[in-house]
Chain A
Amino acid sequence: MAASIQSLCAPSSFSTTKSIDSKRFHGRKVGLLEVRSDNRTKCGSMPVRCKTGNLVTHAVASPAAASTASSKTGHEVLLFEALREGLDEEMERDSRVCVMGEDVGHYGGSYKVTKGLAPKYGDLRVVDTPIAENSFTGMGIGAAMTGLRPVIEGMNMGFLLLAFNQISNNCGMLHYTSGGQFTIPVVIRGPGGVGRQLGAEHSQRLESYFQSIPGIQMVACSTPYNAKGLMKAAIRSENPVILFEHVLLYNLKERIPDEEYVLSLEEAEMVRPGEHVTILTYSRMRYHVMQAAKTLVNKGYDPESGMRTGGIGASLTAAINENFNDYLDAPIVCLSSQDVPTPYAGTLEEWTVVQPAQIVTAVEQLCR
């Protein structure tokens, strides 16, 4: 399935009135009680998993602009360390939080996200499971039904396909079919995506499969700052959350604040405000878009790029078209990965995802 990023051309007047607060969609008028359009991205009338620009939720700290975190007093971390910090802080704070997954305990995690947690919290809180994704995901969900808050790690997002029944039927639907009796506060996380020539089965982009499951929230992180914040928010959320990480981003370095902060799961991050074009993207594509943005700026455009912490694909296009047709100056362009299994060869792999050059061309065409 194709993962995608999109370019949106919004009217310039539209973008200037936009607050930093993300919502690419209209409806954020202050003081409004009823909003006419559906902010949740969904095509058709399917019940929606909440992801993108929604009405205000309790954002504990503002997900301000990108990597330049305000503190000079913070500490530098790599993204996987930021995830670990978030996990560690939450496990310390709430004894119901536990981790389950393959090699998360004694081995420290295949990407070192859980390194050091097992010696600190013990084998029952950081559980090394056998290789049985369907069952240990089900086990985590069963434990969540009684009130525990497991963080289930899939060594690779693609392996979660084995647990799809548990995620879709039990995780997503139990709150609904039980009439609200059970909440399932799990976090299912893992690395996915293309890069590093891992081959077709280890480079899957599963966002589009999961987005049709009502009842779960999908979130993607792209910088150490938002990785830590989103990890904490996901653990604190009462809903099941799937946190998508990206293999190539694990070694990003950034300075993050020392003090505790939690990000909101429903707001997108405004990376670079601008006037001419709005580009929506998430995860690793953020960096491609930023690169493209630089080129575009040099060419005289002023692109505004928003990072969606969730929300993807054709459904975004459909939802925007459906609800905001009046506001669009030009048709939406959707750039996405190719609908092919990821090949192994390095050069071919590069062309399965969108490259900055393509983004630049698309924007130029759009704004002609």
Chain B
Amino acid sequence: MALLQHATKSKSLTTLLRPLTTTATQHRSISTETLTIETSIPYKSHIIEPPSRSVETSPSELMTYFRDMALMRRMEIASDSLYKAKLIRGFCHLYDGQEAVAVGMESAITKKDNVITAYRDHCIYLARGGSLVSAFAELMGRRDGCSRGKGGSMHFYKKDSGFYGGHGIVGAQIPLGVGLAFAQKYNKEDYVSFTMYGDGAANQGQLFEALNMAALWDLPAILVCENNHYGMGTAEWRAAKSPSYYKRGDYVPGLKVDGMDVLAVKQACKFAKEYVLKNGPLILEMDTYRYHGHSMSDPGSTYRTRDEVSGIRQERDPIERVRKLLLAHDIAAEKELKDIEKECRKEVDEAIAEAKESSMPDPSELFTNIYVKGYGTESFGADRKELRTALP
């Protein structure tokens, strides 16, 4: 999601208005000089030495983070409106508030590393290289969606960038993620698999079974617990005897990361990747928060107070944090950042418009992709009574 051109364009406008200071900022926002920034909270660790709190980054990287997160935030808010307009149906689980996890993780890894997550997958799909249009089309069930309209909100996949979904059953993606790591070890690839799950799923037996196998065979699996403190409507302290999810691996080391700080996430993921390639699995607990309810059918206010939500928004919001960094280090002016947000809004609106133009899938799509083609026959008709095949 490069946006440097946008950044420079808006900058040239401001250069006319404020000739003196902006030339410096213009250079800064695309500069790749190293900035060292301390994360706000130290890492907490379990049977491992935590990485350093000083993260190396650069102005252009920070601008990228800002833009990517602003885009994701816009997308989720737009999805909220689309859902209320009944263009998105079924379940819609929104990720706003948690953007730092997706963006920070992506910046530490390559497309050959695998990522698998549960149903709160829109932003991770975007981070992995998915396009806005295909995301919205899939949400609205159109044929140009990433899963041809047949998956829906909970089933986004992008095989060519190593994004394995998109799974509806809580916790079922954890063994799959360990399987991805198994394949990487089998094929002797030097890449890792990030298996993401939530604090609710952290109480599933499958997690511990999969952890056991990953640790037994030293698989390159990083288990990322996105702890947003609520398993749907149940607070973590009501569901888990020990809400220190990073410690629950017992013999598997763990790290607790401030999930609202994109730099802390990036550092942790980089550290994890290096560690895991040599030593076997690691658990990363991302302390994060979701502003929306569990899904669109959950108002999110019956089990937590409005004050709590707005408090987090004021103090820990990931985008605000990066904005403050950018302003403090003189990398960008307030106006540019607002312009970037406006562009994101525009981009999202255009994508929605384009997605709306896409048509619904053809009825014959009901029966495609159930089996891999190879029989040469396909069935048609609402009751599958027609079969067509090519004769040899």
A contact residues vs B (CB 8 Å cutoff) = 27, 31, 33-40, 42, 45, 47-48, 50, 54-58, 98, 124-125, 127, 129-130, 132, 134-148, 165-166, 169-170, 174-183, 214-215, 217, 237-239, 266
Contacts and interface: CB of A to CB of B under 8 A. Distances in A.
A170 B167 contact: yes
Residues of B in contact with A, size category: 35 or more
Interface string B142-165: 000111111110010111000011
A141 B386 contact: no
B9 interface: no
Q: Is the interface of A mostly helix, strand, loop or mixed?
A: loop
B176 A98 contact: no
B367 A146 contact: no
Contact of A139 (B155, B176, B205): B176
20 contacts: A38-B383, A38-B387, A39-B387, A45-B383, A47-B370, A55-B376, A127-B217, A130-B216, A132-B213, A135-B209, A138-B176, A138-B178, A144-B179, A146-B180, A178-B157, A179-B148, A182-B157, A238-B372, A238-B374, A239-B372
Contact of A57 (B116, B184, B213, B376): B376
Contacts of B150: 176-177, 179
Contacts of A33: 388-389, 391
A47 B148 CA distance: 18
Given A50-B375, A98-B186, A266-B375, A130 B175 contact: no
B3 to A, nearest CB: 28
A169 B209 CA distance: 19
A141 B370 CA distance: 16
Interface of B: 114, 116, 145-152, 155, 157-159, 164-169, 172, 174-180, 182-187, 205-206, 209-210, 212-213, 216-217, 366-372, 374-377, 379, 382-389, 391
Contacts of A143: 179-180, 182-183, 186
B137 to A, nearest CB: 11
Nearest to A216: B371
A242 B350 CA distance: 46
A217 to B, nearest CB: 8
B392 to A, nearest CB: 8
B253 to A, nearest CB: 20
Given A135-B178, A143-B186, A175-B369, A182 B159 contact: yes
A142 B182 contact: yes
Contacts of A179: 145-151, 157, 369
B146 to A, nearest CB: 7
A142 B176 contact: yes
A56 B390 CA distance: 10
A135 B383 contact: no
A34 B386 contact: yes
Given A45-B384, A137-B175, A141-B176, 12 more contacts: A34-B388, A40-B384, A45-B383, A57-B374, A129-B213, A130-B216, A132-B209, A138-B176, A138-B179, A139-B178, A146-B179, A169-B169
Nearest to B165: A178
A138 B182 CA distance: 11
Given A38-B383, A181-B159, A124 B372 contact: no
Contacts of B172: 138, 165-166, 169-170
A169 B168 contact: yes
B216 A142 contact: no
A34 B390 CA distance: 10
A255 B386 CA distance: 41
Contact of B384 (A48, A58, A144, A176): A48
A165 B168 CA distance: 11
Contact of B183 (A36, A125, A147, A266): A147
Contacts of A169: 167-169, 172
Contacts of A140: 179
A253 B176 CA distance: 39
Contacts of B369: 175-176, 179-180
B147 A181 contact: yes
A74 B158 CA distance: 48
Given A130-B209, A169-B168, A38 B371 contact: no
A215 B118 CA distance: 21
B368 A180 contact: yes
Contacts of B165: 174, 178
A160 B372 CA distance: 24
Contacts of B366: 47
B80 to A, nearest CB: 23
A37 B385 contact: yes
A38 B210 contact: no
Contacts of A48: 370, 384
B352 to A, nearest CB: 20
Contacts of B149: 179
